[in-house]
Amino acid sequence: MKLYTYFRSSAAYRVRIAMNLKGVAAEQISIHLTKDGGRQHAAEYRAVNPQRRVPSLALDDGDVLLQSPAIVEYLDEVHPQPPFLPADPVARAKVRAFAAVIACDIHPLNNLAPLQYLRRVLKHEQPEIDAWYHHWIVEGFTALETMIRPGPYCFGSAVTLADIYLVPQMYNARRLKVPLDAFPKLVAADAELLKLPAFDHARPENQPDAE
């Protein structure tokens, strides 16, 4: 398998965590999202992923999977241990909802493409863009702080989909200097998760293409 990735992409970060948890290895191919105008726009990569985003997971049979939620679900279905979702349907829905706050509400508004649109097309200055970024992180984290359950992780003592989504978003928040004092439960869960090898090895700074 080949994982098309970028060390700082939170979506790729999710997939790296999931693969580590499942013990699945893949050749990593770096697609730098800012050099040369963004190498995801090159014709060679467009043939892999018509959306020109990372991650993409190329399977051994030639199929290519797109979008981190679909890739993480695929990994969980093909490699059922350890499971990413609780057995109880209500608990599963709560874990999915937590992950969806990040995947559907925070991340799309703060992804590279909309931030570049704010800068290049709408001509916003960097302080305005930073304020936009901070606003949506705080909005989402305020909800997540109430949704998280007793630890050590987001939903108890088993790692779930919620944890796979939380850690990359916490990394982004810190990188963009979002104050986190109002979110002690999220901070505590993140700290515990980063002690686990699967999460530690997936950190952006531990990737071959880290700068």
∠ CA 146-148-95, nearest 5°, is 120
Q: Are 51 and 66 in contact (CB under 8 A)?
A: yes
- The residues near 113 (Cβ < 8 Å, ≥ 6 apart) are none
Q: In what order do the strands lie in the sheet with 56-58?
A: 27-30, 2-5, 56-58, 64-66
Nearest to 203 by CA among 32, 10, 25: 10
pLDDT at res. 129:
87
Pick the CATH number of 89-198 from 1.20.1050.10, 3.20.20.80, 2.40.50.180, 3.40.50.720: 1.20.1050.10
For residue 116, pLDDT over 90 is answered with no
Q: How confident is the model at residue 49 (pLDDT cuts 50, 70, 90)?
A: very high
172-198 pLDDT, tens digit each: 999 999 999 999 999 999 999 999 999
For residues 86-98, average pLDDT: 98
Interstrand relation of 27-30 and 2-5 (parallel, antiparallel or unpaired): parallel
pLDDT at res. 93:
98
pLDDT at res. 112:
78
Q: Quick one: CATH architecture of 2-82?
A: 3-Layer(aba) Sandwich (3.40)
For residue 58, pLDDT over 90 is answered with yes
Give the SS3 label for residue 36.
helix
Domain with CATH 3.40.30.10 in the chain: 2-82
Nearest to 174 by CA among 97, 109, 183, 14: 183
Domain with CATH 1.20.1050.10 in the chain: 89-198
For residue 15, pLDDT over 90 is answered with yes
For residue 167, pLDDT over 90 is answered with yes
Residue keyed to tokens 């467009």: 46
For residues 161-168, average pLDDT: 98
